[in-house]
């Protein structure tokens, strides 16, 4: 099983200098690559001068997370791609449990390790935590993270199990599956494109797994922090994209209608909190969604839709009304 650990970089010289050495130290059985998205800092020089064993692929432009990986992975031969953020600190023997999952479960095409917070190591990290799920309205949440509420890691998610989506911060995917699905949807640019990819994979019968036997630490927010209105824009718009593309038509329209109402409430909340740029970001996200709706709808062609996509009815109601912050209380297997 040939594994390629592929780090997408854009002006992340300091992050590469900080975290790449541990990737090399703890990934002897894998090939390491950096895909550079037309950085204007000294990232490329750093790689060529200090990390000669790292493969370097230079994209002509910054097409974001989605296009960046799509373009870069065309040049890499491997059985398994590990898509790894440049701000992730890997740990000794992190690859072994991942390989075990692929070997034990032939139908598994995507795997994610446990994602812990680099700054608060006892807690899960926002981007992925212990594996991702959706509620009935398509809102994403994780074991270990519901909206901004992060659980402490007490070993409650040290299992190996199927999940709905894996985080793009550290995602292992079979190369043949990635290319068969035509990679990430480049219209997303960044944020939630991994949810769409996993959803499309699930629609085609592939399984997504999580293993708590492997863990990494994620800094998070290195490219766009939660305070950045562009992140608000991308998250609101791209989530609507995924619902449009991946649900049966009648259900999709019902979910979209409810989501637009709830997005309006979220925008009003931003306004009352005097977060005017985030209020504007939600408004712009909806305009962009309306403008691109037909394009997204056409991408539904030849899709096989699964109906058991959700693990909870409404995390908005559960979290904000009933104050539920724990996955095991929200979802009882």
Boundary residue ending a domain (198, 218, 238):
218
Note down the domain range covering 147: 3-218
Say whether both 210 and 243 belong to one domain.
Answer: no
172 lies in the same domain as 239: no
Average of per-residue pLDDT across 300-304: 78
Query: For residue range 284-294, what is the model confidence (pLDDT) as tens digits?
Result: 999 999 999 99
Positions of E strands within the chain:
3-9, 30-37, 55-59, 80-84, 88-89, 108-117, 132-134, 140-142, 145-146, 149-150, 160-163, 170-174, 207-218
Q: Is there a domain that residue 223 lies in?
A: no
Give the span between the Cα atoms of 313 and 291, in whole angstroms: 29
Residue 200, Cβ neighbours under 10 Å: how many? 22
Q: Is the pLDDT of residue 223 over 70?
A: no
Cα 47 to Cα 308: distance, rounded to the nearest angstrom: 45
Q: What is the pLDDT of residues 97-112, one digit of tens each?
A: 999 999 999 999 999 9
CA 114 to chain centre: 13
Which of the listed residues 160, 189, 218 is the one where a domain comes to its end? 218
Q: Are residues 235 and 188 in the same domain?
A: no
CATH number of the domain encompassing residue 187: 3.90.550.10
Res 222: pLDDT: 58
How much is the mean pLDDT over the chain? 95
Q: What's phi and psi for 113, nearest 5 deg?
A: -85, 180
How does DSSP classify residue 186?
G
Assign 193 to helix, strand or coil.
helix
Q: Are residues 192 and 245 in the same domain?
A: no
Q: Which residues pair with 7 in a beta bridge?
A: 34, 84
On whether residue 177 sits in a domain, the answer given is yes
Encoding tokens for residue 119? 């700054």
State whether 214 and 238 are in the same domain: no
**Does residue 29 form part of some domain?**
yes
My answer on whether 67 and 182 are in the same domain is yes
Count of the separate structural domains present in the chain: 2
Find the mean pLDDT for residues 179-185. Answer: 97
Q: Tokens 């997504």 identify what position?
A: 208
Q: Is residue 19 part of a domain?
A: yes
pLDDT bracket for residue 301 (50, 70, 90): confident
Cα dihedral 95/58/109/136 (nearest 10): 110
User: Predicted confidence band at 224 (pLDDT cuts at 50, 70, 90)?
Assistant: low
Asked whether the beta carbons of 188 and 196 are under 8 A apart, the reply is: yes
CA distances from 115 to 4, 14, 132, 289, 327 (A): 19, 21, 11, 31, 15
**Average pLDDT value for residue range 298-322:** 90
Would 224 be classed as within a structural domain? no
Residue 266 to residues 225, 251, 278, 280, 320: CA-CA distances in angstroms? 18, 22, 10, 11, 12
Do 254 and 214 fall into the same domain? no
- Which residues in 44-73 are b (16+ Cβ under 10 Å) and which e? bebbeeebeebbebbbeeebbbbbbbbbbb
User: Are residues 153 and 235 both part of a single domain?
Assistant: no
Residue 32 lies in a domain: yes
154 lies in the same domain as 19: yes
pLDDT reported for residue 226: 65
Q: Are residues 102 and 199 in the same domain?
A: yes
Tens of pLDDT, residues 59-85: 999 999 999 999 999 999 999 999 999
Nearest to 305 by CA among 239, 244, 248, 254: 248
Inside any domain, residue 123 = yes
208 lies in some domain = yes
Domain boundary among 194, 218, 242: 218
pLDDT in tens, 121-147: 999 999 999 999 999 999 999 999 999
- Confidence tier at 225 by pLDDT (50, 70, 90): low
Place of tokens 């790689």: 47
Confidence of residue 220 (pLDDT cuts 50, 70, 90): confident
The residue behind tokens 């960044």 is 190
Of 288, 297, 196, nearest in space to 244 by CA? 297
How many of the other CB atoms lie within 10 Å of CB of 315?
Answer: 24
Same domain? 186 vs 265: no
68 with 93, same domain? yes
């Amino acid at each position: 099983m040939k594994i390629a650990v592929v780090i997408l970089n854009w002006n992340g010289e300091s992050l590469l200098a900080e975290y790449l050495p541990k990737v090399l130290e703890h990934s002897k059985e894998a090939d390491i690559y950096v895909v550079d998205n037309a950085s204007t800092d000294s990232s490329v020089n750093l790689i060529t001068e200090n990390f000669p064993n790292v493969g370097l692929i230079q994209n002509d432009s910054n097409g974001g997370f989605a296009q960046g990986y799509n373009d870069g992975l065309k040049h890499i031969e491997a059985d398994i791609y590990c898509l790894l953020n440049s701000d992730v600190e890997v740990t000794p023997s992190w690859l072994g449990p991942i390989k075990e999952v692929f070997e034990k479960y032939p139908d598994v095409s995507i795997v994610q390790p446990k994602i812990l917070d680099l700054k608060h190591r006892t807690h899960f990290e926002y981007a992925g935590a212990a594996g991702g799920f959706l509620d009935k309205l398509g809102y994403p949440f994780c074991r270990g993270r519901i909206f901004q509420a992060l659980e402490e890691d007490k070993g409650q998610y040290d299992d190996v199990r199927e999940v709905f989506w894996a985080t793009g911060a550290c995602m292992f995917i079979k190369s043949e599956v990635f290319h068969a699905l035509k990679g990430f949807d480049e219209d997303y640019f960044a944020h939630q494109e991994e949810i769409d990819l996993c959803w499309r994979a699930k629609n085609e019968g592939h399984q997504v797994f999580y293993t708590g036997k492997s863990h990494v630490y994620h800094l998070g927010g290195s490219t766009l922090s939660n305070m950045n209105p562009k992140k608000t824009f991308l998250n609101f718009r791209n989530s609507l994209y995924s619902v449009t593309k991946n649900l049966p038509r009648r259900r999709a329209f019902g979910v979209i209608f409810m989501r637009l109402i709830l997005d309006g409430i979220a925008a009003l909340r931003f306004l009352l909190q005097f977060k005017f740029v985030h209020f504007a970001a939600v408004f712009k996200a909806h305009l962009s969604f309306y403008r691109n709706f037909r394009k997204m709808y056409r991408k539904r062609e030849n899709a096989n839709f699964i109906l058991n996509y959700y693990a909870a009815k409404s995390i908005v109601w559960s979290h904000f009304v009933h104050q539920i912050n724990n996955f095991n209380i929200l979802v009882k297997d």
